[in-house]
Structure 1
Amino acid sequence: MADWFVGPVMEKLINTCFEYLKDQARWQTGMKQELERLQKLQPKIQAVVFASSQAHIRDQNPALNKWIWKLRDAIDEADDLLDELDYMKHKQQLTKNKKQLKVRSTLNSLKKIGKRALKIDRNLKRLEEVVQKLEKVSSDVCNFLPLLESTKQELQEQQLELYKTRETGSMPKNDLIGRGKDKEFVMQWLRKPSNEDHSTLYRNISLLSIVGHGGMGKTTLLQHAYEDEMTEEFDLKMWVCVSSNFDAKKVIADMLEYLAKERPRLETLKVLQDSLRFELMSKKFLLVLDDIWEDEEENDKIKWENVLAPLAFGSLGSKILITTRMDSVALMIAKVIKKKKETLRLMGLEEDECLQLLNSHAFADVENPGDHKKLRSIAGEIAKKLLGFPLAAKVIGGVLNSSFDESHWAKVLNSNFLSAELGHNDIFSILRLSYMFLPKHLQNCFAFCCIFPQDHWFDKDDLVRMWIASDFILPPCIRGEAAEDIGGRFSNARFNGYT
């Protein structure tokens, strides 16, 4: 997590130092050279820090571990000095006598220039020491660049783990493109009457599993089915995102919260089960269990038995829809409720459907998309490389939508992330592409959000204030515009692929 503060602090330090050096005499060129070297090293430093923090390789590489701590110490020292200089600057602005300002401004400027020329400016001396220390540490970064390639696979695996902990909601965000037949299959299944079987505990319940690789649109499909007016015939509806390493009590609590619109107190498993059984007693319900993973089959089976036990008290015609990437999960859930496995497998979209989805995002809010013939041609070439992945089409469409300059679209087309064929496990290359094409200031703001725990609900204004305190908000470029206003725009910016 260290990588998000390295860039902003170094950028501010370099800018602050260059500002101080404006009035320097010609013999003060050494510090400028150090700053220029820091600017060149900064991308490499961030890459190594990111790789080390994500891949957890420092324990296996003592030299890297030692260097990271030296870098952290130099960054912390620089950050402390910058905070102190900011405080002094604001204090001086507050204490200035407006009547004497015009008279003294020229004298103060001359005095400041004189001090700097004589190299007795205390702040400049402190900045110089901080820069020298950071430049000395940073120069060793080249020793660790070979580690970047060796940790690539581990980074992809950890990205997969992060994706497994996502949170989903029941409301569809976009039109359903390319999944019309799949939705009709689901709706027909929902309409199909259940055959009552008195021999099993779960005789009133039917189960359908939606199986497909990540990014195939399983969640989107069920969002549209869940919100279809036909589902209003159910007495109760529940949507729960499960993800990996789930806890039976949490899943039941999520169901109760969806029904009662408030979070139940953390009770024992039995109390939660009894509460859910009471809510579902003799009522026809529709339950969506989204994004189910399997970690340990036997352990998960026991947890699912605890989760599903209260559902047996629903009335005839109750339905359960699940999404998963694994056939083994669909089979396990079917065994728990003693049902024959029914599966809808999602495959990639047809190329024309993928292009339609890509264009719907790339030309969002454009009045006459047909006028952009060259861009539409480039979009067609991009769509061929996406292999029918709906998520990839949405993400890349969002990246394209950020600029309608032909060179931008060509850059996306020729990107290394798209140069090789997209495989089933490379959807994270597409997600990373959307991050890489964000403006630098939005990258910092977005990466900052990783400090929040999973499923954390934060206040927008609080987040903006934290961005300001971390110097992620640049000085206002519009006269009269507050930093809070700029941060508000940033928070509303479209973090393509992550919203």
Structure 2
Amino acid sequence: MAEGLTAGDWFGSAIIRRLVDDARSIEEAGHFDSKIQFMLRELQSTLGGIQGWINDAERGLTSDPAQSVLLRQLREAFYEADDLLDEFHFRTLSKKVWHIPSSSMLVLFCDVWGIPSSFMDFKNLVSFLRGRQNLKNLVGELKRISDHAKHNYVSVDHGRERIVRPETASFLLTSDIIGREEEKEEIVRVLLSSDGWYKGGAGSRRGRDIDVLPLVGIGGVGKTTLAQLVYNDERLAEHFFIRAWCYVSADFDIRRILKRLLCFLSNDLSDTISDMEPIIMKLKKAMSGKRFFVVFDDVWDESPAHWEMLRGILTCGEEGSKVLVTTRSAKVAHIMGTMSPIMVGGLSEYEFRALLQCSAFGYGNRDLEESKKLEPIGVQIYRELGGLPLAAKVLGFLLRTNVDEHIWRAISEGELWERDFFQRELLSTLKLSYQHLNANLRQCFSYCSIFPRGYMFEKHKLVQMWVAQGYIKLDDRREMILEDIGSQWFDELMQRFFFQPAEENRYVMHGLMHDLAVYISSGDCSVVEDESRNILRKVRHLRVRTDKLEVLTEMIKIKNLRTLLFFGDCDSHEFSKVLEGMFIYLKDLRVLDLSSTPIEKLPDSFGGLLHLRYLDISNTKIRLLPTSFSRLFHLQVLNLQGCHFQELPKGMNKLINLRYLYGDSEIVSLIEGIGELTNLHYIEEFPVRQKRGHGIGELENLMNLRRISIKNLENVKTKEEAKKAKLKNKRNLKALQLEWSSPTRNRLDVEEDVLEGLEPPPNLKELSITGYDGIALPGCLQSFTSLTLLMVSHYHHKTSISLSDLKALEKLHLEDCPELSIPGGLHSLANLKKLHIEGCPMLNESSLPKQPDMEKGLQSLTDLCIDDSILLNDGWVLLGSLSSLKILNFQHFNHLGYFSKEQELWFHQLTSIQELGISNCRSLGHLPADLSTLLSLKKLSITNCPKIMSLPENGLPISLEDLQISGCPELEERCSEGGPDWIKIARIPRVRVTAAVTMKT
């Protein structure tokens, strides 16, 4: 944390719980002498005493300088304790791996002197004795801090300075509201309607109930202002007999809420009634039989029981009564809402800049010269702040009081948190969301500050890093693994808008949320760039983006690093040498990402990184791993993708904690005896070989597998051999890929026997079968009723599969299966979201839903990729009915020369389409004439369509952000810069025309 470290910003309670659990686990294992066992108990007791003080401190924000000093000391002691306990745990793993016999003379000697038998050489013995002394010193230091805290900070609640949002009211503070007119009209329309958009979930409408519409969004996005605009609309005043506004805040006190409503309804400002019963009776009398509209502003409480009680009281109103809720939590919206929530986003660029100008120069009284200065900077500020209205107002005030253009430029470049006013006004709003997180989520959120602004997060990778840092521990839900818990925590952060979905399986953090994470984590997390200031010596998590060797050399002095991530290009032999020499010093690393760096080898000292749990060396020039690599007993994640190894160390099967192994078949085939890695959850590719230590039987004991791709199944010769994998016993297995790389030369029924012998578990979620050459697909396919994804490709025998029982199916991919048919078609797949059919001529339009079933089948479909066998006649009718479709790809439409008027009519009913791809349509002469009417379209790709000569006369949609053209010679020439069609695309932010080498970003 920063120099002014406060417990309210910290997450010490989460660290204490983890340390106590680790100390107890090591003590109960009983691998160490009585002195260490005693000190481990002392450590648990001392940490327990500190726990109460930290819990109290985290509930408030005291700025006592003396307490800040104590907290910094405590933080350092916690890190030291974590390292020590991890070292002790490493020693127990060593004994387990090397199978030290209890009857050896060495063990007897160690027992006499109270030394664990895993220390078989002098170096290890010295290390153990040093560790025992360090543990003794640590316990003493923690006791000193605990005693000091007890005597000086009996209660930190006195003078607590917790951030509290000012209470809101129904009236607008200013009439000069910019934007939000469309959103307001939509909300008013819904509130005045008699039906609404009903949804499933906790708050679903039940009988005689009230309609609840949630407004959800990040802090500062303008939810309250929008609610005020709606509340004061004259149409609502005429429609509802009663209107009331109630500011709820974090304290969902039902008595207080009911009394506020009572004040609105009866003008009774008396505070004398305290009992709930008379308040409820009085309120029901005032509301009974009347149509009302109530706004509950700023709701945080996620307890369904609290809302149920309040909802039950409000049902006394007339049917048609409405409630509007504003919240930062999607979970609150799910609990309270009976109608689909409205997600409140940022302002448009025009609206944001207008609000910024008004805030900087006054409403209707602008300095034109100063306003012109602001124009180019306003664009950059909008991109940095994501259209947040509160940010525009706060920055507008800053710019009003600092007319120096240098100040404006600094703000546009992200130097925001150094401005006191900005911290006070905007930080306090965002920090409210942070304060409502528990200590575990605070820790996970603050860690994200080491990633760049705008970084696309992959959930599973971030969760793996949280696990590697020890942030996530198993709770009482023993059936869950660490990554499952971490995934839930990530989802909770996303529900509170710390993360936002960006594209498939990727997420982004709002720019201001990233700035908040940087502010919160300063002192623990840092970034090194070419112009970086001096790095704090006690920083723990570091991101590096520099090609300056002197900066890299300076990093070696930071010996406490736990995370080291490299971003950017730094391709030089000297750079590689510096990297290789770093690991002698960086002994505390838990997470190391060297992907795409110029490093050429890992030194022999690399095996000394005994804390290392996450290692990514993908796409590097490393060809050999040191023999010491097999001593990384804590390693959980190993990414070797894109590497070309000559061999791997023989002891790779000693990495007993390895959970995730990323690498292609060639890499995995270098690991002999992979079946000993019984903690494996994921193997990217497992190639079956007819060689000892590489057969299908290696999978027998890997009972923790969650995902696996098994290749070269032609090397499995019998059903009995296939059964050795024991897939049916792997109850945690969710995703399975089966691949035959070449046809067997045995009997035609061999592959049928092998597939039957593999016998996947019945609760499988994802199944992919590629290159299978059996006479028929197994009939058991339809028994996998939990499947959400099914892929069958390169299957050439005449057969059929029934999908009628696969009600949960969300993704279906069928490719190069010329004789495959589906009796009953796709009519029953109501939950299907993604459909890819290519090279399957038997699956023609007869497989699609027909009238009157069209509205029932495929209505959840959002992503469709098809060839011309599907869309003949009635298929186009179906296409026009897919109201949820967002991604559409046409490929191999070999007989389509142009779009008929009827086809274009159905085509242009796809108002929700965001991405359109047209590829390998070699007869197609032109694009749809009215593409410009698809106002949701953001991405258009045209590939290998040589007869398309030009873009439509009406141009392309104004919404288009990304255009890609390749393999279309005439069109490429016309769309090159200066070409006849360039004027139609010059405004598009991203244009890629391959042959013309036109690139604009």
TM-score (norm 1): 0.49
Give the structure with the larger strand fraction. Answer: 2
**Per chain length, whose mean CA-contact separation is higher, i.e. which structure has more relative contact order (CA < 8 Å, sep 6+)?**
1
TM-score (norm 2): 0.26
